[in-house]
Amino acid sequence: MKHPFVVGLAAALFAVILWGIQLPIAKDAFAILDPFFLTASRYVIATLCLGVVLVWREGVAALRYDGWLCHASALGTVGMCASPMLVFLGMSMSRAEHAVVIVAMQPAITAFVLWATQRRRPAAVTLGCLVVAFVGVVLVVTKGSPTLGASPRELFGDFLVLCGAACWVYYTIGTVRIRGWSTWRITVLTMAPGAVACSVVNAALMLHGTTHWPTPAALAAVAVEIAYLTFGGVLTAMLAWNFGVRRIGALNASLLINFMPVATFGYRVVQGQRFLPIEITGALLVVAALVANNLYLRALSLRAPAAA
């Protein structure tokens, strides 16, 4: 195994761990800050920082949209505003452990969207894995109870998280249409309108009286959480992820991202939380099913060039 591959593997795995831990950290911060202000603040700060990096890497010309303004703005509004706000709002009503297994279902959502819109029917193995993963999500959310272990509020929160995950799928599929842009440029030029949309939503809710500007004491109380969510969950994780993907490939990287639930559950265990065996079983089913599907797809991708 070559050294660059090992380094890339470690970088991508590091990003996955950061993303897995950020959900329970955000959930803890919701006790003091509302999810709208938290989402807007982290994306505004992250956009400014990543914009500086983009200019340093590619020059000021990289900030131009070159005819992609409307498309990039739509993607940014849905993927960088609607998606995180729905996930964070839903998680504030539910639990981080629920959110992470639902978010981990994004490959399944993508497969069904492509099936519905492009008539690209998933292979039988993929469909079987997706069914198993769905069963795992149901076990985690309901705790195996036929009467639904979660409260109506938690179930509605889980539904919002699912909608947020679907928004991210829309963003991911939509970025494929943009040609000639680097990963950095796509990220910054879609994140910028997303950050503006987050700020507008947050400002509108404040004017309506639904949310309020946090006090200095409140900001100080969750300063560490905000710093982690911004510089760890966005900046550092994206740097590590992009670095890793360029060295190990997108298919290997997608295999690693399925371990996000492991990071989330592990972080909660370190905090002292204990889970029911049925919840752990459900989370393991999700991870195992998605990993199996990724390995199957990887085998297909390796077999095709060999056959050619």
Binning pLDDT at 50, 70 and 90, where does residue 287 land?
A: confident
Measured distance CA(74)–CA(136) in Å, rounded: 33
Measured distance CA(141)–CA(103) in Å, rounded: 13
Percent of the chain past pLDDT 70, that is, above it, reads 91
Q: What would the pLDDT profile of 121-160 be if each residue is shown by its tens digit?
A: 777 887 788 788 778 877 776 776 655 555 788 889 989 9
φ, ψ dihedrals at 123, nearest 5° = -65, 160
Q: Is the model more confident about 52 or about 1?
A: 52
Are 266 and 292 contained in the same domain?
no
Q: Which residues contact 53 (CB under 8 A, 6 or more apart)?
A: 184
* pLDDT greater than 60 at residue 95: yes
Q: What would the pLDDT profile of 70-85 be if each residue is shown by its tens digit?
A: 999 999 999 889 999 9
Q: Could you tell me which of 69, 83, 37, 88 has the C-alpha nearest to residue 193?
A: 69
Q: What would the pLDDT profile of 11-39 be if each residue is shown by its tens digit?
A: 888 988 998 899 899 988 988 988 899 98
Is residue 199 assigned to a domain? Answer: no
> Given the structure tokens 């099936």, which residue do they identify?
115
Is residue 223 assigned to a domain? Answer: yes
State the average pLDDT for the chain: 83
Range from 7-21, 52-66, 279-293 carrying the lowest mean pLDDT: 279-293
Binning pLDDT at 50, 70 and 90, where does residue 251 land?
A: low
| Domain total of the chain | 2
Measured distance CA(148)–CA(164) in Å, rounded: 22
Are 144 and 288 contained in the same domain?
yes
Are 115 and 259 contained in the same domain?
no
Are 238 and 269 contained in the same domain?
yes
Domain that holds residue 225: 1-33+214-273
Are 221 and 235 contained in the same domain?
yes
8 A C-beta contact, residue 43 and residue 226 = no
Q: Could you tell me which of 88, 85, 53 has the C-alpha nearest to residue 189?
A: 53
Is residue 261 assigned to a domain? Answer: yes
pLDDT of residue 1: 46
Is residue 84 assigned to a domain? Answer: no
Are 145 and 280 contained in the same domain?
yes
Burial of 284 (0-12, 13-18, 19+ CB in 10 A): middle
Q: By three-state DSSP, how is residue 1 classified?
A: coil
Which one-letter amino acid corresponds to residue 286? V
Is residue 170 assigned to a domain? Answer: no
Are 253 and 282 contained in the same domain?
no
8 A C-beta contact, residue 94 and residue 258 = no
Are 118 and 266 contained in the same domain?
no
Is residue 241 assigned to a domain? Answer: yes
Is residue 207 assigned to a domain? Answer: no
